[in-house]
């Protein structure tokens, strides 16, 4: 368990610089309690603290006015969120316009529509804030648009090869 | 929320550690710290860092009620069946 405790400490400690000023001290405070927490309660404690941190990172991503000055999201978080927000619009477009029989039904389409709207908002917020995503490096970001187009084209090519059907 | 105020009120002159408050109230970390943060923003709780008692341990955050927090807690905590705690005062 000490290995798990150390890994949790290291991961959350690495997230601290990415958190907003409002929450950083509190997450640090919760993390400082970890040595006092008995082994059996460590996963629950860490999940709770992690949830506070993830909520803060998500707020900073989608609500730019809450973004801390000069903060950048942890690379893993940005990559995961970015890929999700890249995949959902692709799924939505494919479900609506191309492979109408391929969807998981209305729920899948609605979820992907929600993801598409969040993706659009993330980019619109970045444009409105005029800070090029404030240094955020989400895969959907305007700054990495050429790479995203490349990813979409690669997905289209893969789809064509695997399913012998064009995406568009 | 009321449980946390009650725990803080029980030792209103003393400083409390976060994990001790969690044990006493049964609140998980994901609930306890957002509540403490909200209380602090409302001026009900003051917090500060303190050196750890054991060597090699990180500094810890400690908490106690402010005078305003004591007033709110005394008003809202002790009466069984009282109205829900007003976290969003008009």
Percent of chain A topping pLDDT 70: 76
- The Cα A15–Cα A12 span in angstroms is 5
Q: DSSP E strands: which ranges in chain B?
A: 16-17, 45-50, 60-65
Average pLDDT of every residue of chain A:
77
Q: DSSP E strands: which ranges in A18-162?
A: none
Which pTM was predicted? 0.72
Indicate if the pLDDT at residue B81 is higher than 50: no
**Cβ pairs bridging A and B (under 8 Å):** 56
Indicate if the pLDDT at residue B45 is higher than 70: yes
pLDDT, tens digit (0-9, with 9 covering 90-100), for A32-86? 998 889 989 999 999 999 999 999 988 888 887 777 777 777 877 877 777 787 7
Distances (CA, A) of A23 to A43, A59, A139, B47: 21, 11, 25, 13
On whether ipTM exceeds 0.90, the answer is no
- The Cα A62–Cα A47 span in angstroms is 22
Which residues in chain A touch residue B42, judged by CB atoms under 8 angstroms apart?
none
| Residue of B31, B37, B59 with shortest CB distance to A26 | B37
| Residue of B28, B37, B61 with shortest CB distance to A44 | B28
């Amino acid at each position: 368990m000490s290995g798990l405790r150390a890994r949790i400490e290291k991961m959350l400690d690495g997230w601290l610089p990415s958190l907003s000023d409002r929450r950083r001290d509190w997450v640090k405070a919760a993390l400082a309690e970890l040595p006092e927490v008995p082994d059996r309660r460590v996963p629950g404690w860490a999940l709770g603290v992690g949830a506070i941190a993830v909520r803060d990172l998500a707020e900073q991503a989608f609500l730019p006015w809450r973004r801390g000055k000069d903060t950048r999201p942890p690379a893993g978080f940005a990559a995961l969120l970015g890929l999700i927000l890249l995949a959902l619009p692709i799924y939505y477009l494919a479900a609506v316009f191309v492979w109408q029989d391929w969807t998981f039904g209305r729920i899948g389409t609605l979820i992907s529509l929600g993801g598409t709207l969040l993706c659009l908002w993330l980019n619109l917020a970045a444009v409105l804030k005029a800070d090029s995503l404030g240094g955020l490096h989400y895969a959907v970001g305007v700054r990495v648009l050429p790479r995203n187009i490349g990813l979409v084209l690669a997905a289209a090519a893969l789809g064509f090869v695997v399913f012998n059907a064009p995406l568009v | 929320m009321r449980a946390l105020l009650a725990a803080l009120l029980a030792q209103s002159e003393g400083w409390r550690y976060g994990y001790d408050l969690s044990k006493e109230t049964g609140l998980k970390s994901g609930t306890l710290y957002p509540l403490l943060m909200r209380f602090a923003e409302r001026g009900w709780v003051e917090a500060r860092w303190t050196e750890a008692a054991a060597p090699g341990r990180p500094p810890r955050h400690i908490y106690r009620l402010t005078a305003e927090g004591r007033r709110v807690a005394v008003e809202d905590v002790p009466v069984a069946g009282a109205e829900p705690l007003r976290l969003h005062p008009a």
